[in-house]
Structure 1
Amino acid sequence: MKDIKLTAYSHGAGCGCKISPALLSEMLKSDNPLATYPNILVGNSSRDDAAVYDMGDGTGIISTTDFFMPIVDDPFTFGQIAATNAISDVFAMGGQPIMAIAIFGWPIDKLTPDIAQQVLAGGRDVCLKAGCPLVGGHSIDSPEPIFGLAVTGKIDLKQLKRNDTATEGCKLYLTKPLGVGILSTAEKKGALRSEDTGIAAKSMTTLNAIGRDLGEIAGVRAMTDVTGFGLLGHLLEMCEGSHLSAEIEFDKVPVFKEVQAYLAQGYVPGGTYRNWSSYGHHVRLREEGNKEILCDPQTSGGLLVAVETSAQSTVEALFRTKGIDATPIGEMKPQGEYRIVVV
């Protein structure tokens, strides 16, 4: 198994496989009116991380799915990353994952069953850590390896966090550094330095479980996780849903320091430019090169959190206990000419 390079069997990698925001919007258009259901609190009417069903007793059920092709060569680590990424959607709503089922595609004519077993073992490992048993799933013979989860979670509806409820003046925080797309691209092309091995994987396999704690803080007004659309893409969804703009201080955005060397050599994921083409007209950059960081497709990225100033000290104290950078990266502003301004 040491000689297997899973990334060689897929045309894309991780959340970089996502369909671009502009193309996805086109696909989701419909001439038919959307049906409405009174118990669906979060569904087709917004671009949130998961759907939420009101149980009528003050609690809700969260439902989500996420899957992709390999972003690393090691099968166990691929399984861990895919599971961490899928479960993140529940944490991003402030909820607790309670159950998962696997989505699994495998090229049985190219890769042996023992490699597939390691992918599934990686998924089970993360589900166990999250308190979310992997209880079944569905598998198909597919041209490229695919793995992910459909996850069910629960939530006290008083603690539900959405991505479209930010308020003016909210400070913005990001719980993981950016740059995993750049590091993963360098690794896939055989250019990753030995001393940088494992940096991206460690980030991508770190659960966003802090989302449950943030759900208990009333001053956390909005939350989402940052994945394939990059920081700007997911912040844009927050801005549009909240009818606001945002100002980002580029120098305060956490970024893996190692990525600059790879950017200088041109290791930029193709998804970065697809992202910019989709939403760049809504953004004013400080410098043209900012987009290579801010549009970098993240796989299993951190939480983007909008916090009222009255709750800043509480949230920052929580971040410090988890070893997370407690520096705000920006602020929600009244809607202006641009949805996002980078300074």
Structure 2
Amino acid sequence: MSTSTEPRLTSLSHGGGCGCKIAPGVLSEILKGAASLPVPKELLVGIETSDDAAVYRLNDEQALVATTDFFMPIVDDPHDFGRIAATNAISDVYAMGGKPILALALVGMPISVLSTATIGKILEGGASVCRQAGIPIAGGHTIDSVEPIYGLVALGLVHPDHVKRNADAQAGDVLVLGKALGVGVMSAALKKGMLDAAMYRRMIDTTTRLNTPGPELAALDGVHAITDVTGFGLAGHALEMARGSGCSVEVDWSAVPLLEGVPALARDGFITGASGRNWAAYGADVSLGASLPAEAQALLSDPQTSGGLLVSCTPQSLDQVLAVFKRHGFDSAAVVGRVAAADAGPHLRVA
């Protein structure tokens, strides 16, 4: 934890983790002009479908995966904050099917407020995750910032034939979610001092678990699309997959894994502001079944910091996909829905 003379890390940020993301509708407006920029033929994945990372073809055997992610504290322990931020950033490489090769640190800290010891713990937390991923932090950039900010530029390599975009789901596919939901709800409870020690451990365990199944999943012929569920929530990232693929997505709410204790916290009102902003941006494209519990909407739009992989695969490859997740220790991975042909209705239906 921070020292007794320093403020809580979460008290220094207006929003924590991926809850800091700009709302989807606002982001789309901001990026509107960027789509007209010239695109080299070697750029296999750019900004066109709001995918997890850029992918640039180097040769017939290698493509470079490039991404960056950074945010303000979601927890007060500086080492845990660094671990979560680094895990979240590296996840985008895994989500494209890539193997990480190196990282650069992005550091903005209020140096008149936080001690060098606390800032050092944040950086060491991030470095510990990079060691776990088998990559170096090869450089970076630091600034004096009003709010604490930490993250990484993460680079990786993938075979061009194994790149998995979020826009290649096919009608008839099933959807598998690799991690349970509820990180945003937990972070809201933590900020108000209402998250007990056991739930905090569950939160740290899920947010610091690297999405290592990504490259192995991407190599499976039956896997068509992969994305990771982060700041826009399960509904937001499922919608990106549906829109990019020209399909509809159907989610079975009863099958969606939730972190233990999260539904009760949501019912008690521990909802992030980002959840509401998310729903305002895309709720019109979501159809909710009449029998869903009252907290379902908030949990569908709950921002997931360092969330799980969402995989679209053929029914025939499902056993292989689940076996990969299990082999990597993702015991909560579950089939949560399916992909259907597009129609005139909402892109996402939740029943």
Structure 1 and Structure 2 fold alike (TM over 0.5): yes
Aligned to 1:327: 334
Aligned to 1:245: 248
Deviation, structure 1 residue 142: 0.4
Percent of pairs identical after alignment? 46
Q: Which of the numbers 339, 345, 348 marks the counterpart of 1:340? A: 348
Q: Are 1:316 and 2:322 counterparts?
A: yes
Deviation, structure 1 residue 270: 0.7
Q: Which of the numbers 51, 54, 57 marks the counterpart of 2:54? A: 51
Q: Are 1:200 and 2:200 counterparts?
A: no
What is the TM-score of this pair, normalised by structure 2? 0.95
Give unmatched runs, 5+ long, in structure 1. none
CA contact (8 A) 2:46 2:53 kept: yes
Give unmatched runs, 5+ long, in structure 2. none
Deviation, structure 1 residue 2: 4.5
CA contact (8 A) 2:325 2:331 kept: yes
Aligned to 1:151: 154
CA contact (8 A) 2:179 2:330 kept: no
Q: Which of the numbers 13, 18, 21 marks the counterpart of 2:21? A: 18
Question: What is the alpha-carbon distance in structure 1 between the residues aligned to residue 35 and residue 80 of structure 2?
Answer: 42
Cα 1:32–1:216 shift into 2, 3 Å? closer
Question: What is the alpha-carbon distance in structure 1 between the residues aligned to residue 197 and residue 142 of structure 2?
Answer: 35
Residues 1-343 of structure 1 mapped to structure 2, 5 A cutoff? 1-3=2-4, 4=6, 5-30=8-33, 33-286=36-289, 287=292, 289-321=295-327, 322-336=329-343, 337-343=345-351
Deviation, structure 1 residue 198: 1.6
Question: What is the alpha-carbon distance in structure 2 between the residues aligned to residue 142 and residue 327 of structure 1?
Answer: 40
Deviations 1:42-78 (A, max 9, x none): 1132211000111122210010000000000000110
Deviation, structure 1 residue 159: 1.3
Look up the equivalent residue of 1:123 and give its one-letter code: G
Deviation, structure 1 residue 328: 1.1
Question: What is the alpha-carbon distance in structure 2 between the residues aligned to residue 22 and residue 260 of structure 1?
Answer: 27
Question: What is the alpha-carbon distance in structure 2 between the residues aligned to residue 168 and residue 216 of structure 1?
Answer: 20
Deviations 1:165-217 (A, max 9, x none): 00001100100000011011101111112332221111000000111110111
Classify the secondary structure of the residue corresponding to 1:158: helix
Deviations 1:19-56 (A, max 9, x none): 00000001111288321211111113221100011112
Question: What is the alpha-carbon distance in structure 1 between the residues aligned to residue 34 and residue 124 of structure 2?
Answer: 43
Cα 1:242–1:10 shift into 2, 3 Å? same
Look up the equivalent residue of 2:70 and give its one-letter code: F
Look up the equivalent residue of 2:85 and give its one-letter code: A
Question: What is the alpha-carbon distance in structure 2 between the residues aligned to residue 331 and residue 252 of structure 1?
Answer: 12
Deviation, structure 1 residue 156: 0.9
Question: What is the alpha-carbon distance in structure 1 between the residues aligned to residue 192 and residue 130 of structure 2?
Answer: 30
What is the TM-score of this pair, normalised by structure 1? 0.97
- Over aligned residues, Cα RMSD in angstroms? 1.3
Cα 1:47–1:22 shift into 2, 3 Å? same
Deviation, structure 1 residue 135: 1.0
